[in-house]
Structure 1
């Protein structure tokens, strides 16, 4: 084992020192003298969260299969260690070698959530690497951004040397091969970045210029050189069955968010919910063959000793081989003390039968995500779920022995009225009433428990709702109060609990999701004034952000409050995400007309994503 970067004295002073010592089961240690490329794979949040992220596990496994490359993991030090590292000038280190990542070739960060942007700067700061890409020299690592937030990389463009747009399985080998060759040839940092910009899917912000109109909107986005592309095309892997997947995932020393084997059964989604970014940017829908999944389940359980296996997908019920896979998992593993977790299932007879076999019904709750309380608003957002389907599913669940139901909704959706808000508790009341009407007293597992949770709507890039405006924090809270007051007025209010999200965090998320390059100075200001771990409510300080926007002359209402005209150029329009702007605009107008669009299996609506699969999305469909 490498000599630890932190002394015993420091480890004794901090919470959960096992976050920083490495050497976990299945982690990979190489002889640094036999490799050419060193990569720090960073998740800009605490170890407990980052260790559960599937994307990093896939890339860690893929990079380390190369004999010339050593990929190590890095997570955000918790504030207790952060303070010590700053005071004692201890450079941030890779877990595997315990060596400073400022000496690596690449610092590659996955960007999963906008509220982690200040942690990006924490990583660079503790790594003793210049925060601004323009200030990095020949000896500094090249800083890469990847993940869903790169579908609008502009607010953080100043901090990254380049962004990889899309799925990592496709282009990294070409990138590393080219980098290794150019490095051996003595190429400069500038020359290497220019060459990277020519690789499909790579975006080097310093090689592009943005001009603005008088009203602050974008006038043009242009490359500085003729030999780099005007648009960046997202990269996706079409054959999930044969693509790389970790058969020996790393097993953490401490409890993390998801302590289990994760089987990714498919990518993409056929549903087309108009608020959902993941459902759009991960199109087209691609499945992994069931025989491959069976093989992976055996290998991953054996190599980790985990006692739970979970299916990963945006909508598991849409996986065409689900019944065969779930039956296999139950038959093979459930009797051997392995728990089977099945998230993202539609509540129907098959799902309830399966969940009854793999869950303790008395302890577990069922989850529905109607997203909107009224049918009118569910049609606006294209959520293919009727009240009849919801009540039917709940009724079957109650008959099967469940008495706990979680319901997820959004407040502030486009066209929302007070009637739509009140429909949320009214739906919960109808579900509770169904329990007391259909389940005889002697068969009940106690009272029915309905938990309503509402988040506040954020119009994300590459969704049909990217033209929509948001509300102020006070307005979001006013809407939550309407829901809360309506809960109290329901006949079955004692069976209903209501939770709602923080409104100020939502508005800030909207600013960061929809912003342009002018925001980077505010993000930098917040970090320099002590702000990071904004994704954690105990550390989030909205006043710091208000102060930053004022100091930097940024009007946040410009990014959040206004509805966009149809022809506005968005900060992310230079990215080709496969789904066309024309399709999303058509869906935006369909939403305003309360018109439902069928899912992709029912009918192709011409979103553009089938360009990745030779003009076909599903077998037999053109």
Structure 2
């Protein structure tokens, strides 16, 4: 059997989880795993038979066994710096994260460094671990997490904070950074949430701001060079690296009204603002060509190509669109070669083209056609994320469906053109209708649409606009004779985020969002084939508190954790009542962080982080939103003056070569 055929077979069979039935012997595929030497809190040796018995009693045991194909097991004793990459959510979510795949391969490609993975155990496994007295361990070597030099958390979502505390406690690491001693790991974090890390700064020693592959190796090198120094000295040295924020070296003070007065460095040589790090050339940046292949289905279970990073569409609600600027593309040749390598090394049967706005990649049509032509005959399909609402996107999707038909997803975000101008979502109703009509003509029997409610200036007329738009889409499908028409509207709640033009806006309270939800549900009843799917208002409310919070929230987060909160982003575990209790016992008014409108002169907790975007630009965009004035995409128009390129010393990098995606 050829190697590629073997990989396809392994990919198909891994759902069987024969890792359990075979007594763990096949883990040698990805590296040997000695299950007889798992260290626990009381130094008890856990044998293979005991671990097998326990794992068979928990849900999805392959979450905890390691040994996956392409996993990397390095010699522990030969590594000078050891880092545990911790994802504060379940395995299936964490293994779907592209950033984790990149850092896993990047660090392990260095001969002196070692990186291993750890995920939040599901509650059934946590119960077993606490009962047995086991500490949290890494999947590659089964070493206790507390034995690593660094524990690096990937913070992708504000509702993962209690999981961070739970993982630290399971690892036997002090939760508060000030309580850690010499010999304890440095606890650090990276990811989009770190653009306002203040609510959890008391739990972390340092944050890495911006593109992780640009700063992490430098961080580890400086740590290695100074490993014999006292912990406080090491942190002071690390704080001088651009992109590294050590919150313990800053003092915060507040005004009498509760707003922030300032965040001030406590010693010389520490920057007054921490500037994000940016990868300028994605063609030259590290990319994993042999990612780990899980033994069970994960959320995004496919090969991933990152076609570009950043987005210049300037949607005023979108934090990623601001903090990941500027747009940097990969060349067509690089993407074609990476696709070939990843497919050969994994056996996956689908390629996902990943970015914030894949249809904006300047040669996306040629890339899709080339991938289908080269790999389609083997049954390998291409998937696209949310599409622009235009006929061009449907043409792309039609090319994709030659191998495997996927769900078409469009994101108009708002129900009326007035409100779309407010949020700078430059999509007209005519664009959307042309796109869905083209989709129905091409053979799709349904589409998915993304909307938000609670946006600034939103009225009930805008909610009626959502229903009118859905009715028109439904009518277009019926006019094309579509049978079993299925139209789904996913409706999320607007949460104002830092570093965006709407960071000054109030957030609607859960009761008002619930009233709007009921309004839409009552009025959609007559539209057969149309389904509405709502996000929970209470979880959005908590997300909003954390998104714009400050250091004073840390004690409430700790209190909520002690009350039993964890997996807050999961509907079945979220406890709004416990969070309310924690805020009340800590004398915190959550509305202070969500419900009030803020002045342009207010100092924000996240001002300590320099995303490269000028606050003056954000103010200008906020004022333009009030006037309903759109802002163009600077890739196709003049510079809009956001400040990113001159501040960070970078520029737009469009490498798609011969073709260009249409403007909109």
Are 1:41 and 2:85 matched, yes or no?
A: yes
User: Which residue, out of 625, 638, 654, partners 1:603?
Assistant: 638
**Separation in 1 of the partners of 2:424 and 2:403?**
31
**Shift of residue 498, structure 1, vs aligned partner:** 1.4
Are 1:500 and 2:520 matched, yes or no?
A: no
**Separation in 1 of the partners of 2:63 and 2:294?**
9
**Shift of residue 322, structure 1, vs aligned partner:** 1.0
User: Which residue, out of 513, 517, 520, partners 1:480?
Assistant: 517
Deviations for 1:316-368, whole angstroms, at most 9, x for unmatched residues?
Answer: 11101212211110100111111211113324344323322432799643211
Are 1:258 and 2:289 matched, yes or no?
A: no
Are 1:20 and 2:64 matched, yes or no?
A: yes
Query: CA 1:612 to 1:169, structure 2 compared with 1: closer, same or farther past 3 Å?
Result: farther
SS in 2 for 1:384: coil
User: Which residue, out of 498, 501, 512, partners 1:461?
Assistant: 498
For structure 2, the 5+ residue unaligned runs are 1-31, 39-45, 656-664
SS in 1 for 2:607: coil
- Provide the aligned length of Structure 1 versus Structure 2: 610
- In structure 2, the residue matched to 1:345 is 387
**Separation in 2 of the partners of 1:455 and 1:16?**
30
TM-score by length of 1: 0.96
Are 1:246 and 2:288 matched, yes or no?
A: yes
Deviations for 1:269-303, whole angstroms, at most 9, x for unmatched residues?
Answer: 02000000010000000001110111111110000
**Separation in 2 of the partners of 1:222 and 1:352?**
51
Question: After the TM superposition, which of the residue ranges 146-155 and 349-358 deviates more from structure 2?
Answer: 349-358
Deviations for 1:16-43, whole angstroms, at most 9, x for unmatched residues?
Answer: 1111111111111111121111100011
Contact 2:381 2:404 (C-alpha < 8 Å) held by counterparts: no
**Separation in 1 of the partners of 2:404 and 2:207?**
47
**Separation in 2 of the partners of 1:237 and 1:522?**
36
- In structure 1, the residue matched to 2:624 is 590
Equivalent residue runs for 1:132-147 within 5 Å: 132-147=176-191
Question: After the TM superposition, which of the residue ranges 132-141 and 25-34 deviates more from structure 2?
Answer: 25-34
Are 1:115 and 2:126 matched, yes or no?
A: no
User: Which residue, out of 419, 435, 458, partners 2:461?
Assistant: 419
Contact 1:313 1:344 (C-alpha < 8 Å) held by counterparts: no
**Separation in 1 of the partners of 2:650 and 2:210?**
19
Query: CA 1:619 to 1:255, structure 2 compared with 1: closer, same or farther past 3 Å?
Result: closer
Deviations for 1:544-580, whole angstroms, at most 9, x for unmatched residues?
Answer: 1000000111000000000101111111001110111
Structure 1 stretches of 4+ moved >4 Å: 360-364, 612-616
User: Which residue, out of 265, 282, 304, partners 1:223?
Assistant: 265
- In structure 1, the residue matched to 2:661 is none
**Separation in 1 of the partners of 2:643 and 2:257?**
32
SS in 1 for 2:283: coil
User: Which residue, out of 5, 30, 33, partners 1:2?
Assistant: 33
**Separation in 2 of the partners of 1:618 and 1:313?**
15
**Separation in 1 of the partners of 2:311 and 2:81?**
36
- In structure 1, the residue matched to 2:553 is 519
**Shift of residue 612, structure 1, vs aligned partner:** 6.0
Contact 1:361 1:402 (C-alpha < 8 Å) held by counterparts: no
**Separation in 2 of the partners of 1:180 and 1:362?**
48
- In structure 1, the residue matched to 2:279 is 237
Query: CA 1:393 to 1:619, structure 2 compared with 1: closer, same or farther past 3 Å?
Result: closer
- In structure 2, the residue matched to 1:433 is 475
SS in 2 for 1:252: coil
Query: CA 1:248 to 1:616, structure 2 compared with 1: closer, same or farther past 3 Å?
Result: closer
Query: CA 1:362 to 1:46, structure 2 compared with 1: closer, same or farther past 3 Å?
Result: closer
- In structure 1, the residue matched to 2:420 is 378
- In structure 2, the residue matched to 1:168 is 212
SS in 2 for 1:163: strand
**Shift of residue 613, structure 1, vs aligned partner:** 6.8
**Separation in 2 of the partners of 1:445 and 1:435?**
5
**Separation in 1 of the partners of 2:458 and 2:542?**
21
**Separation in 1 of the partners of 2:331 and 2:255?**
50
**Separation in 2 of the partners of 1:231 and 1:409?**
35
**Shift of residue 501, structure 1, vs aligned partner:** 1.1
Contact 1:46 1:76 (C-alpha < 8 Å) held by counterparts: yes
Contact 1:426 1:487 (C-alpha < 8 Å) held by counterparts: no
Contact 2:87 2:154 (C-alpha < 8 Å) held by counterparts: yes
Are 1:577 and 2:608 matched, yes or no?
A: no
Are 1:179 and 2:223 matched, yes or no?
A: yes
SS in 1 for 2:560: helix
Are 1:470 and 2:507 matched, yes or no?
A: yes
Contact 2:226 2:234 (C-alpha < 8 Å) held by counterparts: yes
User: Which residue, out of 270, 278, 284, partners 2:312?
Assistant: 270
Equivalent residue runs for 1:58-97 within 5 Å: 58-97=102-141
- In structure 2, the residue matched to 1:408 is 450
**Separation in 2 of the partners of 1:576 and 1:203?**
11
**Separation in 2 of the partners of 1:575 and 1:363?**
42
- In structure 2, the residue matched to 1:562 is 596
- In structure 1, the residue matched to 2:4 is none
SS in 2 for 1:239: coil
Contact 1:362 1:445 (C-alpha < 8 Å) held by counterparts: no
**Separation in 2 of the partners of 1:543 and 1:519?**
17
- In structure 2, the residue matched to 1:101 is 145
- In structure 2, the residue matched to 1:529 is 563
